[in-house]
Structure 1
Amino acid sequence: MKDIARRAGVSESAVSFALNDRPGVSEATRRRVRQVADQLGWRASTAARALSGEGAATVGLVLARPARTLGVESFFLQFVSGIQEVLSERHLGLLFRVVAGAEEECAVYRGWWAEQRVDGVIVVDPQIGDPRPALLDSLGLPAVVVGGRDVNGEPRAAAPYPVISSVRVDDAAAMGAVVEYLAGLGHRRVVHVAGLPGLAHTTRRIASLRACAARLGMPGVRSVTTDYSEGQGAEATRLALAGTEPPTAIIYDNDVMAVAGAGVALEMGLTVPRDLSVVAWEDSALCRATHPRLTALDRDATAFGRRAAEELVSLLGGGPARDLPQPMPQLVVRDSTAAPRG
């Protein structure tokens, strides 16, 4: 600051005001100080900002999922890409951790808060009876919950905490659209290969599947939960197709499991879609590149990440907590679905 002040011909306090966007200096002085700062290669010190109470200039993201599933999860990669786009524009860092479960995730939040490591967090995979929002509220740590919060299995529309927003999609309506499409083709035996049990969106999708099946007269409908991995998706498919009344259609909660499931069907001598229709929850290049191309629910995961990051930046700037519904995923019909045989 002394070097900048000397070269710009102003006081050190004027440099501080200019670089921290505080009132007290003219716009001409502010521009001159910033120009000199750029010439000298000045960057804000994260440690100094934290010690002075100005924040860490870092956002946290914790994922409580098996680490082996991350490299092939196209939605998550695009989602993080969208987050990073927004943070980079604002010169904010992203601190990322993978943990074993919610208890360890809560411990990470406590540690980050105590060490002033992050200014706020993006929370993914909301759970039924989720302990994280109340903890973050007690710490006063701004957060955006991606997927919405649930109370007794029902979506909570209002934001009950002053520094916690939610960004969500209507999983129930999306599942309803898929089931109605398959019913319209004539399918009555449908298996849903779901993701992790206990997650709010898994619970919503399973409940919606059951409700739609009852309404449409589809008794042979059920869900099985997995860890989202290729291996468990393949095993769930193998068990379903080997049963006494195998499904004529399978809905998978991600693209990786859908591709693995289609491969299992081929190994068992079945043809997609003549013998088995396949639907993937998340559309991706994988769905479009495989043969046959997979029918899938499409949403812009990168835009979803950007929206979550933008909302967190708004909270950090003093904006109100909000509940923000996002556009429902749209079903893209391709070659992997058709009317059942017979």
Structure 2
Amino acid sequence: MKRPTITDIAREAGVSKGAVSYALNGRPGVSEATRQRITEIARELGWAPSSTARALSGGRAGAIGLVLDRPPDVLGAEPFLTALLEGLGPASLLLQVVPDLDAELAVHRRWRGERKVDGVLLAGPGCAAELPGIGLPAVVLGGPLDHPGVPSVWVDDGVAAAEMLEYLAALGHRRVVRIAGQAAFAHPRARAEAFTAAAGRLGLSAGTVHTGRTAEAGPGVTQRVLTGPRPPTALVCDTDVLAVAALAAARELGLAVPGDVSVVSWEDSPLCRLVRPALSAVRRPLAELGSLAAAMVRDLVAGEEVTDVCASRPRLVTRGSTGPARS
């Protein structure tokens, strides 16, 4: 039988979910008569707070945590965090950068023990399976996943891959290489599968090369790709930083963009518009991702059932870095 939630109580009492939350947590904002009525309905429905919400009931921190296990130089170069913060609204964000997954788990355990945050956002699926045991409400930015108790909010990379590769195929491109890096809030396996599947449907010769975790690796990897025996006529780069690195690598080799090679970024940003030629790029709704994630964390803390959510459709913005394939 489905566990009764705050939503069920609010519907039965004819009040808002906020009023129910105030009443059940002993906070001001509702009359005593309303509080008693809500409490009685909750008892009749058999409602009980989740173990996480009960652990947090001693006082809310008023903050959401985010731990990033990526190098500081990469973090400083990518503007994704600003877009995410725009979507979080009034929620305070406690941010910490760590070197690896073990350090990330250690931070989550410390935050839980010190009650520094009410819940956390996970920048990837790496430690999602561990969070229920730690006792922190968590939402993964990127997915979809299959971790009970840890919902995800995600952008459909299948849609993005299809739109990018269909566009390139229409321009005559048949050899496309993806430069894969540590993309923000994207499931690595889901993105790789989306790219491979879209290329297969279109009959393209497509491959993927990985740059590793450092921003400096991008130009060297791209140069090796472009000087290979059968160089691609188009590059799809996981991040805006990698796409800018691809422009630089092509220029150093004396190649024209887009005359000799087209470049597409899988992440749009102001950087994509500032370089020349301006980069064609996929615009993902990162502010919406932040807004949805913050709301999901709040619902988890309140004892609500939360499921995976797909954000709005990404769209390709075409600019000067893409053109017809060379003969």
TM-score by length of 1: 0.75
Task: Name 1:173's counterpart in structure 2.
Answer: 159
Residue 242 of structure 2: aligned partner? 257
Deviations 1:24-51 (CA, angstroms, capped at 9, x unpaired): 6699xxxxxxxxxxxxxxxxxxxxxx99
Alpha-carbon distance change, 138 to 51 in structure 1, aligned in 2, over 3 angstroms: closer
Q: Residue 70 of structure 1 aligns to a residue in which SS?
A: helix
1:192 aligns with 2:173: no
Identify which of 302, 313, 323 aligns with 2:308: 323
Rounded to whole Å, the distance in 1 between the matches of 2:160 and 2:57 is 47
Q: How far has the Cα of 1:334 moved from its partner? A: 1.2
Unaligned runs of 5+ in 2: 1-23, 35-54
Structure 2 residue matching 1:193: 3-state secondary structure: strand
Tell me: CA distance 1:175–1:241, structure 2 relative to 1, closer, same or farther (3 Å): same
The letter of the residue matching 2:136 is: L
Which whole-Å CA distance do the structure 2 matches of 1:24 and 1:218 have between them?
65
- 2:253 matches 1:293: no
Query: Which deviates more from structure 2 when the two are superposed, residues 312-321 or residues 67-76?
Result: 312-321
State how far apart, in whole Å, the 2-side matches of 1:208 and 1:322 are.
22
Instruction: Summarize deviations over 1:99-140 as a string: whole Å, max 9, x none.
Output: 1122211121112112222211111122xxx4x233221233
Residue identity in the other structure for 2:325? P
Q: Deviations over 1:284-304 (max 9, x none)?
A: 111112111111101232222
Which residue matches 1:305?
290
Instruction: Tell me which residue corresponds to 2:128.
Output: 133
Report how far residue 52 of structure 1 moved: 7.7
Q: In the alignment, does 2:201 pair up with 1:215?
A: yes
Q: What is the 5 A alignment of 1:43-192?
A: 53-83=58-88, 85-87=89-91, 93-126=92-125, 130=126, 132-150=127-145, 156=146, 160-161=148-149, 164-192=150-178
The residue number in structure 2 matching 1:20 is 27
Q: CA–CA distance in 1 between the matches of 2:128 and 2:187?
A: 16
Q: 1:134 to 1:228 in 2, by over 3 A?
A: closer
Distance 1:308 1:227, change over 3 A: farther
Which residue of structure 1 lines up, in the alignment, with residue 260 of structure 2?
275
Kindly indicate whether the alpha-carbon contact (under 8 Å) linking 2:165 and 2:198 is maintained by their aligned counterparts in 1. yes
Q: Give the whole-Å Cα distance in 2 for the aligned partners of 1:52 and 1:187.
A: 58
Confirm or deny: 8 A CA contact 2:61 2:117 kept in the other structure: yes
* Counterpart-to-counterpart distance in 2, 1:256 and 1:290: 11
Flag the structure with larger Rg: 1
Distance 2:291 2:308 in 1: 16
Q: 3-state SS of the aligned residue for 2:187?
A: helix
User: How much has 1:223 moved relative to structure 2?
Assistant: 0.6
Change (3 A) 1:168 1:215: same
Which residue of structure 2 lines up, in the alignment, with residue 332 of structure 1?
317
What residue identity is the alignment partner of 2:107? V
1:219-234 aligned at under 5 Å gives the runs: 219=205, 221-227=206-212, 229-234=214-219
Looking at structure 1, the residues matched to 265 and 320 of structure 2 have their Cα atoms a distance apart, in angstroms, of 12
Q: Is the 8 A contact 2:25 2:57 kept in 1?
A: no
| C-alpha displacement of 1:201 | 2.1
After superposition, give the CA deviation of every residue in 1:60-98 in whole Å (9 maximum; x if it has no partner): 110011111111101233213422x231xxxxx322111
Contact 2:155 2:284 in 1 (8 A): no
Q: Return the offset for 1:217.
A: 2.1
- Name the SS of the counterpart of 1:69 in structure 2: helix
When residues 217 and 94 of structure 1 are mapped into structure 2, their CA distance, relative to the original with a 3 A threshold, is closer
How many residue pairs are counted as aligned between the two chains?
283
In structure 1, give the amino acid aligned to 2:116. R
Equivalent-residue separation in structure 1 for 2:113 and 2:169 (angstroms): 53
1:149–1:200 Cα contact (<8 Å) kept: no
